[in-house]
Chains A and B, each alone.
Chain A
């Protein structure tokens, strides 16, 4: 059987800058007629020789950083854009769930929008009528279904959009970031619905998401795109791992250039720098998971200070405070001059990823002398594959021990 989707050497170029004016167009035409060089605009390859096939029933995830060309690729599959070079062959009906709710009209009521969007997605009116109750029930909007959508909250609008979209019945489903919507309970529901469509109904699905865990769980093949090219393709776990490594580097590059946030500075002291030392006493940016490390903060005290304690904490690049340690039991008095404070950690139990240091200096009563977040970025790395994989499972490593015991009646069963 022929593959349901074939993408042959697909290249898409966009011209940068504005559309040429009518005048420029005419001038260019004259120049071309007169065989004079024409002023060309810079072009940008959104897709560069992309080539793959998808078989019937496959669930393929497409991942990559923003601007890698994922959405452009989907637009070509959905026949919205046309290739500059190459060919896209789709054998079957295709249902684009690209940004659910694009067709939702604010002036119309929920019910009217169900019919309108159904028509836009190509669902026959009869089927919509049959499924109307089901759609309304799924959207959890029974009470508001005859209210204009402009009075809905944004979450409600999205719920409505997704409920309509999932009632679609096509051979190929294209899903672009739809699950990043609504409250947790609704996301769960959407996810279940999608798993149902994928596993039980055997549809061919293309899933674009930044939620890598979701992609890895749902897909049986993953394509990693980078700068308009296919960077890697194959087993979900391997490709997703590759993507994680890529993102960690990228996050670090971004974070280290970003400025400190939430800074409180007083004329008590002047913050100098934060240094991280690894086990071998080297000044580093990355530390091995489960190995010792030391954090040292340098600062200039500008006037005599009494009862000073320190708090050194760790947060993620999106400012989720993970942990903090303070020296409240060992308050110090300081005289003007340069000082440093060291916090030694016997084992770095954060799982591989990018983290940042925050520092608070002040009195136990709460008078702040200095506070800043995002002072120093570091990566936790590990050679251990199992630890790297745990990144999406959570943030901390727990030193757990397992025991496997049989209970009495199990022994009885075994011996019987």
Chain B
């Protein structure tokens, strides 16, 4: 594991250069440039806000638009990192056939690219916080750790998915479908406190309630989004009870996914 991180450090310039290339070619001949990157969370925020005006979703005494936008930030980052990551190896087939460097550079590059776009969204979130007169507390220092954790989750999916995608292109098709379903299973549209209240306080699912809540928090995004909102908007420390089931799952899956990727890697150039 240490060796892996070390080799990634060696390739940091390559990752930076490739990410920079991705950004440049995506936004080069467009007038609005990189601000297209924030269009997706903004549109989703507007839609959710509109939907909420019909169905009524609790928002923990916070303005709903900023609550859902703060949820969309890590979510969109995760979703796009994962789907770009899965396609990253196949879309760089030319390079894979011509030159060797550790192939994990590609999923990581996809993620770093999205990190730049995330930064732009952060500017927007900051503007919204100013508008709603919200001050970040000291707990906002948790943000880098939360983002890092999100990156790990996205990579776990990317490594496995990218390797599969080299052999069966079905992966790149199936993943977006799966991820858009997962969004409803994550506290993006609604806060985690709502799930918490329904299942743990009201025991809405009877005897299954506690297990269901654990299952829900097994989705790492549940903990991530909740913590993100807590440290930034609510001025609270992260809720570790919501974080640790997902964290456990990721810590188990990441090595498996990485080893799988490295095993498959040796045949990429032949199969792709």
B contact residues around A352 at 8 Å (CB): none
Binary interface profile of A, 1-21, with partner B (CB < 8 Å = 1, else 0)? 000000000000010000100
Q: CA A107 – CA B27 in complex, angstroms?
A: 10
Q: CA A112 – CA B97 in complex, angstroms?
A: 22
- Shortest beta-carbon distance from A246 to chain B in Å: 28
Given A107-B24, A108-B24, A119-B18, are A80 and B271 neighbors across the interface (CB < 8 Å)? Answer: no
A contact residues around B18 at 8 Å (CB): 116, 119-120
Residue of A nearest to B170 (CB): A22
A80 close to B97 (CB less than 8 A)? yes
B contact residues around A122 at 8 Å (CB): 14, 101
Contact of B98 among A80, A115, A119, A125 (CB under 8 A): A80
B98 close to A98 (CB less than 8 A)? yes
Does A96 reach chain B (CB closer than 8 Å)? yes
Does B25 reach chain A (CB closer than 8 Å)? yes
B267 close to A119 (CB less than 8 A)? no
B100 close to A80 (CB less than 8 A)? yes
Does A92 reach chain B (CB closer than 8 Å)? no
A contact residues around B21 at 8 Å (CB): 105, 108, 112, 116
Contact-size category for A: 20 to 34
- Shortest beta-carbon distance from A77 to chain B in Å: 10
Residue of A nearest to B97 (CB): A80
A contact residues around B94 at 8 Å (CB): 102-103
Contact of A82 among B17, B170, B267 (CB under 8 A): B267
Binary interface profile of B, 87-104, with partner A (CB < 8 Å = 1, else 0)? 000000011111111000
Does B61 reach chain A (CB closer than 8 Å)? no
Q: CA A75 – CA B94 in complex, angstroms?
A: 13
Binary interface profile of B, 30-51, with partner A (CB < 8 Å = 1, else 0)? 0000000000000000000000
B contact residues around A103 at 8 Å (CB): 94-95, 98-99
Q: CA A112 – CA B83 in complex, angstroms?
A: 27
Q: CA A81 – CA B94 in complex, angstroms?
A: 14
Binary interface profile of A, 63-91, with partner B (CB < 8 Å = 1, else 0)? 00000000000010011111000000000
- Shortest beta-carbon distance from B29 to chain A in Å: 8
- Shortest beta-carbon distance from A277 to chain B in Å: 52
Most buried by B among A105, A122, A124: A122
Does B57 reach chain A (CB closer than 8 Å)? no
B100 close to A78 (CB less than 8 A)? yes
Does B122 reach chain A (CB closer than 8 Å)? no
Q: CA A148 – CA B99 in complex, angstroms?
A: 23
Does A121 reach chain B (CB closer than 8 Å)? yes
Q: CA A120 – CA B109 in complex, angstroms?
A: 13
Among A313-342, those with CB < 8 Å from B are none
A contact residues around B101 at 8 Å (CB): 120, 122
B contact residues around A79 at 8 Å (CB): 100
A contact residues around B24 at 8 Å (CB): 107-108, 112
Does A192 reach chain B (CB closer than 8 Å)? no
Does B175 reach chain A (CB closer than 8 Å)? no
Most buried by B among A98, A102, A124: A102
B contact residues around A82 at 8 Å (CB): 266-267
Residue of B nearest to A113 (CB): B21
Does B197 reach chain A (CB closer than 8 Å)? no
A contact residues around B270 at 8 Å (CB): 14, 81
A contact residues around B97 at 8 Å (CB): 75, 80, 102
A contact residues around B143 at 8 Å (CB): none
A80 close to B17 (CB less than 8 A)? no
Binary interface profile of A, 272-292, with partner B (CB < 8 Å = 1, else 0)? 000000000000000000000
B25 close to A108 (CB less than 8 A)? yes
B99 close to A119 (CB less than 8 A)? no
| Chain A residues within CB distance 8 Å of chain B | 14, 19, 22, 75, 78-82, 96, 98-99, 102-103, 105, 107-108, 112, 115-116, 118-122, 124-125, 148
Chosen A-B contacts, 10 in total, with CB atoms closer than 8 Å, are A19-B167, A78-B99, A80-B99, A103-B98, A108-B21, A108-B24, A118-B17, A120-B101, A124-B13, A148-B28
